[in-house]
Amino acid sequence: MNAIFGRRFKSENSVSNFTNVQQLREIMPALLEGYLTEAEMPNSFLLLSPPPEHNSSFFELDLEHARKALESKDEARFLQAAIDADLSFPFAVKSFESIIGMQISESKTPKLYVLMRRVMTDAGLSTYAAKNYYKRERPFMVNNQKTCTPDQENILYKVGSFPSGHAAVGWAWSLVLIKLFPEKEKEILKRGHDFGESRIVCNVHWYSDVKMGRTMGQATVECLWGNSDFLADWDSVKKEMQEILDSNLE
């Protein structure tokens, strides 16, 4: 196993530092501004313990998850991981639509659509303090095996692996959606969880990256509940949802 995964820790490649939305638009041009100011944003470097040391049982767990993902023959799950990797809108939230029974789009649910995009920005950006500091190598950079998104690998080389921004986003979305659709809580949380797991399946994140990504997703949502702009939009979203439900009853 050591021969496959090596024992490197920090990336030897050129890793970019991202600290704000303008810089992140280098890799995600359509990104909207989030709700949280820099002062309100949860700091992943301060909140999270460092990535596992390579002689630790925690890193052995990372290796085990990575090995299982590489050995898996589940082509459908690999395809789903590729689908979950796409954070462009409206595509990014499609996998939640069948669960909530509603299309999330600029035309059908414009208030929810914008809120989901802005939450994505905040949850993703919350991970970058740790990403920028640790510059952790991703599994595919170490094991030299394929990912589910070969077209994204040039970008992924530039961004540290710990913690996972996708996992933060998927979990943040699920925590928001269960407030709107509490009767679907179990299914929504499973989708948010699996959204993060897809990064392991894709061979672009370690298990600990994903686990700590969810921690940052939750921390972000907790901060959002104290943000006046988010709360104002939240009230608009609830009204929008009620209008849709009422129209369905007519």
Give catalytic residue positions.
166, 199, 205, 209
Question: How does DSSP assign the chain, residue by residue?
Answer: -HHHH-S--B-SS------SHHHHTTT-TTPPP-S--TTTS--HHHHSPPPPPTTSHHHHHHHHHHHHHHH---HHHHHHHHHHT---TTGGGHHHHHHHTS--STTT-HHHHHHHHHHHHHHHHTTHHHHHHH-BPPHHHHH----S-GGGHHHHTTS--SS-HHHHHHHHHHHHHHHH-GGGHHHHHHHHHHHHHHHHHTTSS-HHHHHHHHHHHHHHHHHHTT-HHHHHHHHHHHHHHHHHHHHHH-
Q: Which residues contact 154 (CB under 8 A, 6 or more apart)?
A: none
Contact of 11 with 120, CB cutoff 8 Å: no
Q: Which residues contact 100 (CB under 8 A, 6 or more apart)?
A: 177, 180, 181, 184, 188
